[in-house]
Amino acid sequence: MSIKTNLSEIQSQLPSHVSLVAVSKTKPVEDLMEAYESGQRIFGENKIQEMADKHQQMPKDIQWHMIGNVQRNKVKYMAEFVDLIHGVDSEKLLNEINKQAEKHQRTINCLLQLKIAQEDTKFGMTAEAAHTLLESDHFKSLKNIAIVGVMGMASFTENSAQIKEEFTTLKSTFESLKKISPELEIISMGMSGDYPLAIDCGSTMVRVGSRIFGARNYAI
Ligand SMILES: *Cc1c(COP(=O)(O)O)cnc(C)c1O
């Protein structure tokens, strides 16, 4: 199966309100270019340095999404070009993104990462913490960031009833946060193994890697 075929199969399953982030972490630029040449323009990476390297080598109409956990001291390496940061889970991180965005006179779009999985290995804020943040005067004073939605990762399990419950929780948290911040519009949930279910539960953005590019080999 080629990258091009995989992409067009997935695209054919997506409703028009759902966008596809091609998760290209660990994959070589040639693979990303194959996706680019098939029309893909949104790429997701989970390491800032790797994303910055690929950004430099690739066409400039690509939208780069940071989907991994962000170390505050590395925000400066992506502040100039990143299109959306999915994994914002603290006010400290938001402060740093705001500071670096200001240096480049731009506004950086961010998603609040919410903890929906039962496992405690997953990052993310509670719904309460997200409410408190969006209602705070401090948050309102940050002029160079925009919170445009939420992101979540379901538990790593075969139990689709559990995954469905977690996605549904994210959707309802989104609805309640949207009452405070009407500009919220993105629900980033769903990966290779569960994106059809995520879409049924209200996802507007799926992050798909191995289903497009094949299995990742971390030994390389
Ligand atoms: C790697 C990754 C994905 C894509 O995973 P696949 O199972 O390969 O589709 C999606 N979201 C995040 C946050 C990731 O780190």
Ligand 1, pocket-test mutation among 67, 112, 167, 216, most atoms within 8 A of CB: 67
Q: What is the residue with the minimal CA distance to atom 13 of ligand 1?
A: 67
Residue in the block written with tokens 């990476």: 45
Q: What is the residue with the minimal CA distance to atom 11 of ligand 1?
A: 207
Q: State residue 13's pLDDT score.
A: 95
Q: State residue 122's pLDDT score.
A: 60
Q: Go through the domains of the chain in sequence order and give each one's CATH number.
A: 3-213 (3.20.20.10)
**How far, in Å, is the centroid of ligand 1 from the Cα of 27?**
13
Ligand 1, pocket-test mutation among 6, 10, 23, 158, most atoms within 8 A of CB: 23
* Whole-angstrom distance, CA of residue 175 vs CA of residue 181: 10
**How far, in Å, is the centroid of ligand 1 from the Cα of 43?**
11
Q: State residue 119's pLDDT score.
A: 77
Q: State residue 1's pLDDT score.
A: 75
Structural contact between residues 207 and 170, judged by C-beta atoms closer than 8 angstroms:
no
**How far, in Å, is the centroid of ligand 1 from the Cα of 35?**
16
Cβ < 6 Å from ligand 1: which residues? 23, 25, 46, 67-68, 153, 191-193, 207-211
Q: What is the residue with the minimal CA distance to atom 6 of ligand 1?
A: 209
Residue in the block written with tokens 């569960």: 194
Q: State residue 123's pLDDT score.
A: 82
Instruction: Pick out the chain residues at pLDDT < 70.
Output: 120-122, 219-220
Q: State residue 144's pLDDT score.
A: 98
DSSP conformation class of 16: T
Q: What is the residue with the minimal CA distance to atom 4 of ligand 1?
A: 209
Selection from 195, 213, 186 nearest residue 17 by Cα: 186
Using alpha carbons, list the distances in angstroms from residue 88 to 60, 68, 97, 113, 172: 25, 9, 9, 5, 19
Please give the full DSSP string across 154-191, using - where no structure is assigned: --SSS-HHHHHHHHHHHHHHHHHHHHH-TT--EEE---
Q: State residue 118's pLDDT score.
A: 82
Q: State residue 121's pLDDT score.
A: 60
* Whole-angstrom distance, CA of residue 68 vs CA of residue 7: 22
Structural contact between residues 14 and 21, judged by C-beta atoms closer than 8 angstroms:
no
